Structure 1
Protein backbone atom coordinates (compact mmCIF):
# COMPACT_ATOMS: atom_id res chain seq x y z
CA UNK A 1 0.00 0.00 0.00
CA UNK A 2 1.50 3.30 -1.12
CA UNK A 3 2.14 6.27 1.18
CA UNK A 4 -0.68 8.30 -0.34
CA UNK A 5 -3.03 5.33 -0.08
CA UNK A 6 -2.17 5.06 3.62
CA UNK A 7 -2.59 8.80 4.09
CA UNK A 8 -5.93 8.69 2.30
CA UNK A 9 -7.12 6.02 4.72
CA UNK A 10 -5.79 8.01 7.68
CA UNK A 11 -7.47 11.06 6.31
CA UNK A 12 -10.92 9.56 6.15
CA UNK A 13 -10.39 8.16 9.61
CA UNK A 14 -9.08 11.40 11.00
CA UNK A 15 -12.15 13.29 9.83
CA UNK A 16 -13.84 13.67 13.14
CA UNK A 17 -15.88 15.94 15.29
CA UNK A 18 -14.97 19.19 16.84
CA UNK A 19 -15.82 21.94 19.20
CA UNK A 20 -13.40 24.83 18.68
CA UNK A 21 -11.47 26.63 21.38
CA UNK A 22 -12.95 29.75 22.89
CA UNK A 23 -11.76 33.26 22.26
CA UNK A 24 -12.65 35.98 24.66
CA UNK A 25 -16.27 36.21 23.62
CA UNK A 26 -17.05 32.57 24.35
CA UNK A 27 -17.19 31.81 28.03
CA UNK A 28 -18.43 28.30 27.41
CA UNK A 29 -15.63 26.25 28.91
CA UNK A 30 -16.65 22.65 29.32
CA UNK A 31 -16.83 21.05 32.73
CA UNK A 32 -15.78 17.46 32.96
CA UNK A 33 -18.58 15.16 33.97
CA UNK A 34 -17.87 12.38 36.46
CA UNK A 35 -18.26 8.70 35.76
CA UNK A 36 -21.85 7.56 35.81
CA UNK A 37 -22.73 4.12 37.11
CA UNK A 38 -26.13 2.74 36.12
CA UNK A 39 -28.33 0.60 38.38
CA UNK A 40 -26.54 -2.66 39.19
CA UNK A 41 -27.79 -5.94 40.59
CA UNK A 42 -27.01 -6.51 44.24
CA UNK A 43 -24.13 -8.92 44.87
CA UNK A 44 -22.17 -9.93 47.92
CA UNK A 45 -19.01 -8.61 46.28
CA UNK A 46 -20.37 -5.10 45.83
CA UNK A 47 -20.52 -3.04 42.63
CA UNK A 48 -17.66 -3.32 40.14
CA UNK A 49 -15.14 -0.54 40.28
CA UNK A 50 -14.83 1.75 37.31
CA UNK A 51 -11.51 1.83 35.58
CA UNK A 52 -9.54 4.74 37.04
CA UNK A 53 -9.12 7.73 34.80
CA UNK A 54 -5.65 8.52 33.55
CA UNK A 55 -4.05 11.62 34.97
CA UNK A 56 -4.06 14.33 32.27
CA UNK A 57 -0.65 15.18 30.83
CA UNK A 58 0.03 18.84 31.76
CA UNK A 59 2.10 19.18 28.58
CA UNK A 60 -1.00 18.46 26.50
CA UNK A 61 -3.39 21.03 27.93
CA UNK A 62 -5.51 22.97 25.40
CA UNK A 63 -4.11 26.16 23.88
CA UNK A 64 -6.12 29.18 22.78
CA UNK A 65 -6.09 30.09 19.09
CA UNK A 66 -6.11 33.80 19.95
CA UNK A 67 -2.41 34.13 19.10
CA UNK A 68 -2.86 32.43 15.73
CA UNK A 69 -5.81 34.35 14.26
CA UNK A 70 -6.70 37.96 14.92
CA UNK A 71 -10.46 37.36 14.88
CA UNK A 72 -12.99 34.63 15.63
CA UNK A 73 -16.39 35.48 14.14
CA UNK A 74 -19.85 33.98 13.75
CA UNK A 75 -21.22 34.82 10.29
CA UNK A 76 -24.92 34.52 9.49
CA UNK A 77 -25.34 32.77 6.13
CA UNK A 78 -29.11 32.80 5.49
CA UNK A 79 -28.78 31.15 2.07
CA UNK A 80 -27.41 28.04 3.80
CA UNK A 81 -29.43 28.42 7.03
CA UNK A 82 -26.17 28.34 8.96
CA UNK A 83 -24.41 30.42 11.58
CA UNK A 84 -20.83 29.86 10.42
CA UNK A 85 -17.72 30.16 12.59
CA UNK A 86 -14.69 31.61 10.85
CA UNK A 87 -11.18 32.40 12.06
CA UNK A 88 -9.68 35.36 10.26
CA UNK A 89 -6.49 37.37 10.01
CA UNK A 90 -7.08 40.11 7.39
CA UNK A 91 -4.28 41.21 5.07
CA UNK A 92 -2.50 44.50 5.64
CA UNK A 93 -3.55 46.75 2.76
CA UNK A 94 -3.54 50.43 1.88
CA UNK A 95 -6.66 52.40 0.99
CA UNK A 96 -6.36 51.59 -2.73
CA UNK A 97 -5.58 47.88 -2.32
CA UNK A 98 -7.73 44.82 -1.69
CA UNK A 99 -4.98 42.33 -0.84
CA UNK A 100 -5.09 38.53 -0.93
CA UNK A 101 -6.71 36.10 1.49
CA UNK A 102 -6.06 32.36 1.67
CA UNK A 103 -9.48 30.84 2.32
CA UNK A 104 -9.01 27.43 3.97
CA UNK A 105 -11.48 24.54 4.21
CA UNK A 106 -10.74 21.60 6.54
CA UNK A 107 -11.32 17.89 5.92
CA UNK A 108 -14.21 15.81 7.24
CA UNK A 109 -14.43 15.67 11.02
CA UNK A 110 -11.96 18.50 11.61
CA UNK A 111 -12.43 22.24 12.13
CA UNK A 112 -11.07 25.55 10.95
CA UNK A 113 -8.54 25.47 13.78
CA UNK A 114 -6.61 22.79 11.89
CA UNK A 115 -5.03 25.72 10.02
CA UNK A 116 -4.12 27.78 13.13
CA UNK A 117 -0.35 27.19 13.16
CA UNK A 118 -0.24 27.46 9.37
CA UNK A 119 -2.08 30.80 9.47
CA UNK A 120 0.43 32.28 11.90
CA UNK A 121 3.32 31.19 9.67
CA UNK A 122 1.69 32.69 6.56
CA UNK A 123 1.16 36.01 8.35
CA UNK A 124 4.81 36.13 9.42
CA UNK A 125 6.28 34.99 6.09
CA UNK A 126 4.18 37.38 4.03
CA UNK A 127 4.73 40.30 6.38
CA UNK A 128 0.96 40.42 6.85
CA UNK A 129 0.36 41.05 3.15
CA UNK A 130 -1.52 37.78 2.76
CA UNK A 131 -4.48 37.17 5.06
CA UNK A 132 -5.92 33.81 6.14
CA UNK A 133 -9.56 32.90 6.65
CA UNK A 134 -10.37 29.42 7.95
CA UNK A 135 -13.93 28.11 8.17
CA UNK A 136 -15.79 25.55 10.26
CA UNK A 137 -17.88 23.57 7.77
CA UNK A 138 -21.45 22.38 8.19
CA UNK A 139 -21.87 20.09 11.23
CA UNK A 140 -18.27 20.84 12.29
CA UNK A 141 -16.74 23.04 14.95
CA UNK A 142 -18.89 25.95 16.04
CA UNK A 143 -20.93 26.24 12.85
CA UNK A 144 -24.58 25.66 13.73
CA UNK A 145 -27.87 25.44 11.80
CA UNK A 146 -30.34 28.30 12.10
CA UNK A 147 -34.11 28.65 11.81
CA UNK A 148 -34.60 25.20 13.30
CA UNK A 149 -33.11 23.66 10.15
CA UNK A 150 -31.06 20.48 9.92
CA UNK A 151 -27.36 20.38 9.09
CA UNK A 152 -27.23 16.62 8.49
CA UNK A 153 -26.70 16.77 4.71
CA UNK A 154 -22.97 16.71 3.91
CA UNK A 155 -23.30 15.97 0.19
CA UNK A 156 -20.75 17.70 -2.00
CA UNK A 157 -23.26 20.06 -3.66
CA UNK A 158 -24.46 21.28 -0.27
CA UNK A 159 -20.90 21.81 1.02
CA UNK A 160 -19.94 23.72 -2.12
CA UNK A 161 -23.02 25.94 -1.80
CA UNK A 162 -22.18 26.57 1.86
CA UNK A 163 -18.67 27.70 0.93
CA UNK A 164 -19.89 29.88 -1.95
CA UNK A 165 -22.61 31.45 0.21
CA UNK A 166 -20.12 32.16 2.99
CA UNK A 167 -17.77 33.99 0.63
CA UNK A 168 -20.68 36.13 -0.54
CA UNK A 169 -21.63 36.87 3.07
CA UNK A 170 -18.09 37.87 4.10
CA UNK A 171 -17.13 39.66 0.88
CA UNK A 172 -20.47 40.76 -0.64
CA UNK A 173 -18.99 42.96 -3.40
CA UNK A 174 -16.63 41.05 -5.73
CA UNK A 175 -15.27 44.34 -7.11
CA UNK A 176 -13.69 45.32 -3.79
CA UNK A 177 -13.18 41.85 -2.35
CA UNK A 178 -9.60 40.62 -1.87
CA UNK A 179 -8.11 38.14 -4.28
CA UNK A 180 -8.95 34.67 -2.99
CA UNK A 181 -6.45 31.82 -2.86
CA UNK A 182 -8.49 28.70 -2.10
CA UNK A 183 -6.88 26.03 0.10
CA UNK A 184 -8.58 22.71 0.86
CA UNK A 185 -7.42 19.70 2.85
CA UNK A 186 -8.81 16.29 1.81
CA UNK A 187 -12.61 16.70 1.72
CA UNK A 188 -12.02 20.46 1.78
CA UNK A 189 -10.03 20.13 -1.44
CA UNK A 190 -13.08 18.63 -3.13
CA UNK A 191 -15.13 21.62 -1.94
CA UNK A 192 -12.82 24.43 -3.02
CA UNK A 193 -12.10 23.14 -6.54
CA UNK A 194 -15.83 22.82 -7.24
CA UNK A 195 -16.54 26.25 -5.72
CA UNK A 196 -13.90 27.94 -7.88
CA UNK A 197 -16.01 28.12 -11.11
CA UNK A 198 -18.97 29.58 -9.22
CA UNK A 199 -16.80 32.27 -7.63
CA UNK A 200 -15.23 33.16 -10.99
CA UNK A 201 -18.67 33.37 -12.59
CA UNK A 202 -19.69 35.78 -9.84
CA UNK A 203 -16.59 37.87 -10.78
CA UNK A 204 -14.49 37.14 -7.70
CA UNK A 205 -10.74 37.13 -8.33
CA UNK A 206 -9.36 33.66 -7.59
CA UNK A 207 -5.56 33.64 -7.55
CA UNK A 208 -5.22 29.87 -7.28
CA UNK A 209 -6.47 26.60 -5.82
CA UNK A 210 -4.31 24.44 -3.54
CA UNK A 211 -5.38 20.88 -2.70
CA UNK A 212 -3.71 19.23 0.28
CA UNK A 213 -3.00 15.49 0.43
CA UNK A 214 -5.84 13.98 -1.53
CA UNK A 215 -5.90 12.27 -4.93
CA UNK A 216 -9.16 10.95 -6.32
CA UNK A 217 -7.87 7.47 -7.18
CA UNK A 218 -6.22 6.81 -3.82
CA UNK A 219 -9.16 8.24 -1.89
CA UNK A 220 -11.68 6.02 -3.68
CA UNK A 221 -9.44 2.98 -3.17
CA UNK A 222 -9.26 3.69 0.56
CA UNK A 223 -13.02 3.83 1.16
CA UNK A 224 -13.61 0.04 1.52
CA UNK A 225 -11.08 0.01 4.38
CA UNK A 226 -12.86 2.68 6.39
CA UNK A 227 -14.94 0.35 8.61
CA UNK A 228 -11.74 -1.25 9.89
CA UNK A 229 -10.18 2.17 10.50
CA UNK A 230 -13.26 3.42 12.36
CA UNK A 231 -13.32 0.34 14.59
CA UNK A 232 -9.79 1.13 15.75
CA UNK A 233 -10.69 4.60 16.96
CA UNK A 234 -11.95 5.45 20.46
CA UNK A 235 -15.60 6.47 20.73
CA UNK A 236 -15.05 8.80 23.67
CA UNK A 237 -12.46 10.33 25.99
CA UNK A 238 -11.97 10.93 29.70
CA UNK A 239 -10.89 14.53 29.17
CA UNK A 240 -9.83 17.07 26.56
CA UNK A 241 -6.21 16.25 27.42
CA UNK A 242 -6.96 12.57 26.83
CA UNK A 243 -8.23 13.38 23.33
CA UNK A 244 -5.15 15.48 22.56
CA UNK A 245 -2.91 12.72 23.88
CA UNK A 246 -4.58 10.10 21.67
CA UNK A 247 -4.16 12.19 18.52
CA UNK A 248 -0.46 12.70 19.24
CA UNK A 249 0.28 9.11 20.31
CA UNK A 250 -1.60 7.68 17.32
CA UNK A 251 0.30 10.01 14.95
CA UNK A 252 -2.96 11.51 13.77
CA UNK A 253 -1.35 14.89 14.42
CA UNK A 254 2.43 14.84 14.81
CA UNK A 255 2.74 18.41 16.05
CA UNK A 256 1.69 18.59 19.75
CA UNK A 257 1.27 22.38 19.64
CA UNK A 258 -1.18 22.16 16.76
CA UNK A 259 -3.01 19.29 18.45
CA UNK A 260 -3.43 21.37 21.61
CA UNK A 261 -5.10 24.12 19.57
CA UNK A 262 -7.17 22.01 17.20
CA UNK A 263 -8.31 18.85 19.05
CA UNK A 264 -10.50 20.60 21.69
CA UNK A 265 -12.73 21.69 18.79
CA UNK A 266 -13.27 18.06 17.76
CA UNK A 267 -15.07 16.90 20.91
CA UNK A 268 -18.15 17.80 22.93
CA UNK A 269 -19.59 16.73 26.30
CA UNK A 270 -21.04 13.25 25.92
CA UNK A 271 -24.75 12.73 26.64
CA UNK A 272 -25.44 10.59 29.68
CA UNK A 273 -26.27 6.98 29.03
CA UNK A 274 -27.71 5.06 32.02
CA UNK A 275 -27.41 1.80 30.06
CA UNK A 276 -23.63 1.92 30.28
CA UNK A 277 -21.73 1.01 33.43
CA UNK A 278 -19.15 3.66 32.68
CA UNK A 279 -19.35 6.65 30.40
CA UNK A 280 -16.66 9.03 29.27
CA UNK A 281 -17.29 12.75 29.62
CA UNK A 282 -16.36 13.63 26.02
CA UNK A 283 -17.28 12.29 22.59
CA UNK A 284 -16.79 13.34 18.97
CA UNK A 285 -18.48 16.48 17.66
CA UNK A 286 -18.85 14.87 14.21
CA UNK A 287 -18.52 11.08 14.36
CA UNK A 288 -16.77 10.06 11.16
CA UNK A 289 -19.01 7.07 10.60
CA UNK A 290 -22.04 9.34 10.20
CA UNK A 291 -20.43 10.97 7.15
CA UNK A 292 -19.99 7.62 5.33
CA UNK A 293 -22.90 8.04 2.88
CA UNK A 294 -21.13 11.08 1.37
CA UNK A 295 -17.54 9.87 1.00
CA UNK A 296 -17.76 8.67 -2.58
CA UNK A 297 -19.51 11.84 -3.76
CA UNK A 298 -16.75 14.00 -2.27
CA UNK A 299 -13.94 12.40 -4.25
CA UNK A 300 -15.53 11.17 -7.48
CA UNK A 301 -14.61 13.69 -10.18
CA UNK A 302 -12.09 15.49 -7.99
CA UNK A 303 -9.23 15.23 -10.51
CA UNK A 304 -11.33 16.57 -13.38
CA UNK A 305 -12.61 19.47 -11.25
CA UNK A 306 -9.06 20.32 -10.14
CA UNK A 307 -7.70 20.33 -13.68
CA UNK A 308 -10.66 22.35 -14.98
CA UNK A 309 -10.17 25.19 -12.47
CA UNK A 310 -9.41 28.33 -14.48
CA UNK A 311 -6.66 29.54 -12.21
CA UNK A 312 -3.25 28.44 -10.96
CA UNK A 313 -3.29 24.92 -9.46
CA UNK A 314 -1.19 23.36 -6.72
CA UNK A 315 -1.25 19.82 -5.32
CA UNK A 316 0.64 19.22 -2.06
CA UNK A 317 1.15 15.63 -0.89
CA UNK A 318 2.54 14.11 2.29
CA UNK A 319 4.45 11.42 0.40
CA UNK A 320 5.33 10.27 -3.08
CA UNK A 321 2.52 8.26 -4.60
CA UNK A 322 1.06 7.30 -7.92
CA UNK A 323 -1.27 9.84 -9.43
CA UNK A 324 -4.44 8.71 -11.11
CA UNK A 325 -4.49 8.78 -14.92
CA UNK A 326 -6.02 12.25 -15.25
CA UNK A 327 -3.53 13.85 -12.88
CA UNK A 328 -0.60 12.01 -14.43
CA UNK A 329 -1.49 13.35 -17.87
CA UNK A 330 -2.12 16.81 -16.42
CA UNK A 331 1.25 16.84 -14.68
CA UNK A 332 3.06 15.84 -17.89
CA UNK A 333 1.27 18.68 -19.66
CA UNK A 334 2.34 21.15 -16.95
CA UNK A 335 -1.22 21.92 -15.88
CA UNK A 336 -0.42 22.07 -12.18
CA UNK A 337 2.43 22.31 -9.72
CA UNK A 338 3.00 19.38 -7.37
CA UNK A 339 5.05 19.46 -4.16
CA UNK A 340 5.79 16.63 -1.72
CA UNK A 341 6.37 17.43 1.97
CA UNK A 342 8.46 14.57 3.42
CA UNK A 343 8.29 13.58 7.07
CA UNK A 344 4.60 14.42 7.45
CA UNK A 345 1.38 12.47 7.66
CA UNK A 346 -2.05 13.19 6.26
CA UNK A 347 -2.28 16.32 8.43
CA UNK A 348 0.73 17.86 6.70
CA UNK A 349 -0.46 21.41 7.34
CA UNK A 350 -0.39 20.66 11.09
CA UNK A 351 2.68 18.40 11.08
CA UNK A 352 4.92 20.97 9.35
CA UNK A 353 3.18 24.39 9.23
CA UNK A 354 6.35 26.36 8.32
CA UNK A 355 7.03 24.21 5.25
CA UNK A 356 3.50 24.37 3.93
CA UNK A 357 3.37 28.12 4.59
CA UNK A 358 6.60 28.52 2.64
CA UNK A 359 5.14 26.53 -0.29
CA UNK A 360 1.89 28.49 -0.37
CA UNK A 361 3.41 31.93 0.17
CA UNK A 362 5.77 31.20 -2.72
CA UNK A 363 2.77 30.01 -4.78
CA UNK A 364 0.92 33.23 -3.91
CA UNK A 365 3.85 35.47 -4.78
CA UNK A 366 4.49 33.71 -8.08
CA UNK A 367 0.89 33.82 -9.21
CA UNK A 368 -0.40 37.04 -7.71
CA UNK A 369 2.37 39.44 -8.62
CA UNK A 370 2.51 41.03 -12.05
CA UNK A 371 4.42 38.92 -14.55
CA UNK A 372 5.91 39.83 -17.90
CA UNK A 373 3.59 39.79 -20.94
CA UNK A 374 3.31 36.34 -22.47
CA UNK A 375 4.43 34.56 -19.29
CA UNK A 376 1.73 32.20 -18.02
CA UNK A 377 1.02 31.50 -14.39
CA UNK A 378 1.74 28.04 -13.00
CA UNK A 379 -1.15 25.74 -13.90
CA UNK A 380 -2.59 27.97 -16.60
CA UNK A 381 -3.08 26.65 -20.12
Structure 2
Protein backbone atom coordinates (compact mmCIF):
# COMPACT_ATOMS: atom_id res chain seq x y z
CA UNK A 1 0.00 0.00 0.00
CA UNK A 2 1.35 3.44 -0.94
CA UNK A 3 2.05 5.92 1.84
CA UNK A 4 0.82 9.43 1.12
CA UNK A 5 2.73 10.86 4.06
CA UNK A 6 4.55 14.05 3.00
CA UNK A 7 8.32 13.89 2.54
CA UNK A 8 10.57 16.60 4.06
CA UNK A 9 11.82 19.21 1.59
CA UNK A 10 15.18 19.15 3.40
CA UNK A 11 15.92 15.78 1.80
CA UNK A 12 16.15 17.61 -1.54
CA UNK A 13 17.06 21.24 -0.87
CA UNK A 14 19.66 22.57 1.55
CA UNK A 15 17.88 25.74 2.59
CA UNK A 16 14.57 27.60 2.51
CA UNK A 17 15.15 31.34 2.57
CA UNK A 18 12.58 34.01 3.35
CA UNK A 19 13.94 36.61 0.97
CA UNK A 20 12.87 40.22 1.52
CA UNK A 21 13.12 42.27 -1.67
CA UNK A 22 11.84 45.61 -2.88
CA UNK A 23 9.01 43.66 -4.53
CA UNK A 24 7.92 41.75 -1.44
CA UNK A 25 8.77 38.61 0.50
CA UNK A 26 9.47 35.36 -1.33
CA UNK A 27 10.13 31.80 -0.24
CA UNK A 28 13.20 30.53 -2.07
CA UNK A 29 14.50 26.95 -1.95
CA UNK A 30 18.23 26.58 -2.56
CA UNK A 31 20.39 23.50 -3.20
CA UNK A 32 24.08 23.20 -4.00
CA UNK A 33 24.90 26.80 -3.09
CA UNK A 34 28.68 27.20 -2.75
CA UNK A 35 30.10 27.86 0.69
CA UNK A 36 31.65 31.23 1.44
CA UNK A 37 35.00 31.53 -0.31
CA UNK A 38 34.19 28.91 -2.94
CA UNK A 39 33.90 29.68 -6.63
CA UNK A 40 30.35 30.47 -7.82
CA UNK A 41 28.57 27.58 -9.52
CA UNK A 42 26.35 27.83 -12.56
CA UNK A 43 22.79 28.49 -11.42
CA UNK A 44 19.61 26.70 -12.47
CA UNK A 45 16.91 29.27 -11.68
CA UNK A 46 13.68 27.27 -11.70
CA UNK A 47 10.16 28.70 -11.90
CA UNK A 48 7.16 26.48 -11.14
CA UNK A 49 3.74 26.33 -12.79
CA UNK A 50 0.47 27.82 -11.58
CA UNK A 51 -0.73 26.40 -8.27
CA UNK A 52 2.53 24.56 -7.63
CA UNK A 53 5.56 25.77 -5.64
CA UNK A 54 9.34 25.72 -5.79
CA UNK A 55 9.20 22.18 -4.42
CA UNK A 56 8.07 21.09 -7.89
CA UNK A 57 11.79 20.99 -8.63
CA UNK A 58 12.81 18.84 -5.63
CA UNK A 59 13.86 15.73 -7.53
CA UNK A 60 15.76 17.81 -10.08
CA UNK A 61 17.55 19.72 -7.32
CA UNK A 62 18.64 16.50 -5.62
CA UNK A 63 20.06 15.19 -8.88
CA UNK A 64 21.89 18.37 -9.92
CA UNK A 65 23.07 19.98 -6.69
CA UNK A 66 26.49 18.31 -6.72
CA UNK A 67 27.42 20.33 -9.83
CA UNK A 68 25.01 23.26 -9.94
CA UNK A 69 23.30 25.69 -7.61
CA UNK A 70 19.55 25.19 -7.92
CA UNK A 71 17.31 28.11 -6.97
CA UNK A 72 13.55 27.48 -6.91
CA UNK A 73 11.41 30.42 -5.83
CA UNK A 74 7.75 30.38 -4.87
CA UNK A 75 5.91 32.78 -7.15
CA UNK A 76 3.76 35.47 -5.53
CA UNK A 77 0.69 34.06 -3.75
CA UNK A 78 2.21 30.56 -3.94
CA UNK A 79 3.90 28.52 -1.22
CA UNK A 80 5.87 30.64 1.25
CA UNK A 81 5.67 33.86 -0.76
CA UNK A 82 3.66 36.99 -0.04
CA UNK A 83 0.06 37.29 -1.18
CA UNK A 84 -0.79 39.59 -4.08
CA UNK A 85 -3.81 40.46 -6.20
CA UNK A 86 -1.64 41.00 -9.30
CA UNK A 87 -1.03 37.75 -11.17
CA UNK A 88 0.30 39.32 -14.35
CA UNK A 89 3.24 37.66 -16.08
CA UNK A 90 5.07 40.98 -16.12
CA UNK A 91 4.85 41.31 -12.35
CA UNK A 92 6.01 37.73 -11.80
CA UNK A 93 8.92 38.19 -14.20
CA UNK A 94 10.03 41.31 -12.34
CA UNK A 95 9.76 39.34 -9.06
CA UNK A 96 12.01 36.63 -10.46
CA UNK A 97 14.59 39.17 -11.62
CA UNK A 98 14.57 40.76 -8.17
CA UNK A 99 15.11 37.40 -6.46
CA UNK A 100 17.96 36.57 -8.84
CA UNK A 101 19.58 39.95 -8.20
CA UNK A 102 19.41 39.54 -4.43
CA UNK A 103 21.00 36.09 -4.59
CA UNK A 104 23.31 36.38 -7.59
CA UNK A 105 23.74 40.07 -8.38
CA UNK A 106 27.21 40.38 -6.88
CA UNK A 107 28.83 37.25 -8.30
CA UNK A 108 26.74 37.04 -11.50
CA UNK A 109 27.13 33.28 -12.07
CA UNK A 110 26.13 31.81 -15.42
CA UNK A 111 22.40 31.21 -15.16
CA UNK A 112 19.89 29.05 -16.97
CA UNK A 113 16.26 30.06 -16.35
CA UNK A 114 14.01 27.00 -16.33
CA UNK A 115 10.22 27.24 -16.29
CA UNK A 116 7.28 24.85 -16.34
CA UNK A 117 3.88 25.85 -17.79
CA UNK A 118 3.05 29.26 -16.25
CA UNK A 119 6.66 29.30 -15.07
CA UNK A 120 7.74 28.79 -18.67
CA UNK A 121 5.90 31.95 -19.67
CA UNK A 122 7.54 33.76 -16.75
CA UNK A 123 10.96 32.42 -17.80
CA UNK A 124 10.55 33.76 -21.34
CA UNK A 125 9.56 37.18 -20.03
CA UNK A 126 12.49 37.16 -17.58
CA UNK A 127 14.87 36.48 -20.45
CA UNK A 128 13.39 39.32 -22.52
CA UNK A 129 13.90 41.87 -19.72
CA UNK A 130 17.69 41.66 -20.03
CA UNK A 131 18.11 41.94 -16.26
CA UNK A 132 20.24 38.82 -15.85
CA UNK A 133 23.56 39.83 -17.43
CA UNK A 134 25.02 36.32 -17.10
CA UNK A 135 22.04 34.55 -18.69
CA UNK A 136 23.30 31.44 -20.48
CA UNK A 137 20.00 29.99 -21.63
CA UNK A 138 16.25 29.62 -21.15
CA UNK A 139 14.43 26.28 -20.97
CA UNK A 140 10.64 25.99 -21.02
CA UNK A 141 8.65 22.83 -20.35
CA UNK A 142 5.04 22.15 -21.31
CA UNK A 143 4.24 25.57 -22.75
CA UNK A 144 3.75 26.43 -26.43
CA UNK A 145 1.90 29.61 -27.39
CA UNK A 146 -0.59 28.06 -29.82
CA UNK A 147 -1.43 25.08 -27.64
CA UNK A 148 -1.68 27.20 -24.49
CA UNK A 149 -4.02 29.74 -26.08
CA UNK A 150 -6.20 26.99 -27.55
CA UNK A 151 -6.61 25.40 -24.12
CA UNK A 152 -7.68 28.60 -22.34
CA UNK A 153 -11.45 28.09 -22.86
CA UNK A 154 -11.21 24.80 -20.97
CA UNK A 155 -8.97 25.87 -18.10
CA UNK A 156 -11.85 27.22 -16.03
CA UNK A 157 -13.70 23.92 -16.38
CA UNK A 158 -10.64 21.96 -15.29
CA UNK A 159 -10.11 24.16 -12.24
CA UNK A 160 -13.83 24.06 -11.41
CA UNK A 161 -13.82 20.26 -11.28
CA UNK A 162 -11.14 20.13 -8.60
CA UNK A 163 -12.12 19.59 -4.96
CA UNK A 164 -12.11 22.78 -2.89
CA UNK A 165 -11.30 21.11 0.43
CA UNK A 166 -9.28 18.15 1.69
CA UNK A 167 -9.50 16.34 5.01
CA UNK A 168 -5.73 16.25 5.52
CA UNK A 169 -2.43 16.91 3.78
CA UNK A 170 -2.24 13.18 3.05
CA UNK A 171 -5.65 13.41 1.39
CA UNK A 172 -4.33 16.17 -0.86
CA UNK A 173 -1.15 14.24 -1.71
CA UNK A 174 -3.31 11.27 -2.69
CA UNK A 175 -5.48 13.52 -4.86
CA UNK A 176 -2.46 15.17 -6.49
CA UNK A 177 -1.01 11.81 -7.49
CA UNK A 178 -4.15 9.87 -8.44
CA UNK A 179 -5.63 12.76 -10.44
CA UNK A 180 -2.44 13.26 -12.43
CA UNK A 181 -1.88 16.75 -11.04
CA UNK A 182 1.60 15.51 -10.12
CA UNK A 183 2.40 12.33 -12.01
CA UNK A 184 5.53 11.35 -10.09
CA UNK A 185 4.66 9.78 -6.72
CA UNK A 186 7.77 10.97 -4.90
CA UNK A 187 7.30 14.49 -6.26
CA UNK A 188 3.69 14.52 -5.06
CA UNK A 189 4.78 13.56 -1.55
CA UNK A 190 7.48 16.21 -1.25
CA UNK A 191 5.59 19.09 -2.90
CA UNK A 192 1.98 18.44 -1.90
CA UNK A 193 2.04 19.98 1.56
CA UNK A 194 3.26 23.31 0.16
CA UNK A 195 0.22 23.63 -2.11
CA UNK A 196 -2.41 23.68 0.64
CA UNK A 197 -3.10 25.63 3.83
CA UNK A 198 -5.23 24.70 6.81
CA UNK A 199 -8.70 26.22 7.11
CA UNK A 200 -9.21 28.85 9.78
CA UNK A 201 -11.40 26.45 11.77
CA UNK A 202 -8.71 23.75 11.63
CA UNK A 203 -11.16 21.25 10.16
CA UNK A 204 -9.63 20.80 6.74
CA UNK A 205 -7.20 22.01 4.10
CA UNK A 206 -7.70 24.18 1.02
CA UNK A 207 -5.64 25.29 -1.98
CA UNK A 208 -2.91 27.78 -1.13
CA UNK A 209 -3.44 29.52 -4.48
CA UNK A 210 -6.90 30.15 -5.90
CA UNK A 211 -6.23 29.88 -9.62
CA UNK A 212 -9.72 31.17 -10.43
CA UNK A 213 -8.50 34.61 -9.39
CA UNK A 214 -5.80 34.51 -12.06
CA UNK A 215 -8.15 34.07 -15.04
CA UNK A 216 -8.04 37.68 -16.28
CA UNK A 217 -4.29 37.32 -16.93
CA UNK A 218 -4.30 33.95 -18.70
CA UNK A 219 -4.31 35.21 -22.28
CA UNK A 220 -1.70 37.93 -21.83
CA UNK A 221 0.61 35.42 -20.21
CA UNK A 222 0.86 33.25 -23.32
CA UNK A 223 0.44 35.68 -26.20
CA UNK A 224 3.67 36.48 -27.99
CA UNK A 225 5.72 33.63 -26.52
CA UNK A 226 6.75 32.45 -29.97
CA UNK A 227 7.64 35.90 -31.27
User: How far is the alpha carbon of 1:198 from its aligned partner?
Assistant: 2.7
| TM-score, L = length of structure 2 | 0.93
User: How far is the alpha carbon of 1:203 from its aligned partner?
Assistant: 6.1
Taking the aligned partners of 2:190 and 2:38, their CA distance within structure 1 comes to 35
Q: Which runs of 5+ in 2 are unaligned?
A: none
Taking the aligned partners of 2:167 and 2:36, their CA distance within structure 1 comes to 49
Partner of 1:298: 221
Partner of 2:125: 194
Query: Residues 58 and 286 from structure 1, CA distance in 2 versus in 1: closer, same or farther, beyond 3 angstroms?
Result: same
Q: Which runs of 5+ in 1 are unaligned?
A: 1-56, 146-150, 273-278, 305-381
Taking the aligned partners of 1:112 and 1:300, their CA distance within structure 2 comes to 24
Partner of 2:7: 63
Partner of 2:68: 130
Partner of 1:119: 61
Q: Which of the two has greater strand per residue?
A: 2
Larger Rg over CA atoms: 1
What is the CA RMSD across the aligned residues, in angstroms?
2.0
Counterpart contact for 2:15–2:30, Cα < 8 Å:
yes
Are 2:81 and 1:143 aligned?
A: yes
Counterpart contact for 1:248–1:256, Cα < 8 Å:
yes
Partner of 1:377: none
Partner of 1:43: none
Counterpart contact for 1:71–1:89, Cα < 8 Å:
yes
Partner of 2:52: 110
Are 2:28 and 1:86 aligned?
A: yes
Taking the aligned partners of 2:17 and 2:33, their CA distance within structure 1 comes to 16
Partner of 2:171: 242
Taking the aligned partners of 2:82 and 2:156, their CA distance within structure 1 comes to 28
Partner of 1:161: 94
User: How far is the alpha carbon of 1:194 from its aligned partner?
Assistant: 1.3
Query: Residues 74 and 255 from structure 1, CA distance in 2 versus in 1: closer, same or farther, beyond 3 angstroms?
Result: same
